[in-house]
Structure 1
């Protein structure tokens, strides 16, 4: 089978199912409501919502504290 080239996109992390913009959207919605409410409205599991929220929260914390340089 031929191997197809792939392109790295700045708005989508490698091997991630959701774009950075969508993850940030989920993060902001959870801050205003709950994982359960966002889970129902986005048709995602609460585990998926919690993972997205935690990932974005960690990135936001690193940005604010200056730990993250190239993200």
Structure 2
């Protein structure tokens, strides 16, 4: 269960950073710098990967519970 907690912590951190960048873009009418745009793109990819990992982890937990 500890691994799942670490994954959800990582997911929360990524979501916080994504939210910060998107909020900054909205409040600073000029959008994001190239570096910020690049970081946002990387965040989106990381978020996708972490969500897939969490889904896999949770599926394994369900499977393990059914095996008992």
**How would you bin the TM-score normalised by the shorter chain?**
0.3 to 0.5
Q: Which has the larger radius of gyration?
A: 2
TM-score (norm 1): 0.40
Answer 1 or 2: which has greater helix percent.
2
Greater RCO structure (CA 8 Å; 6+ sep): 2
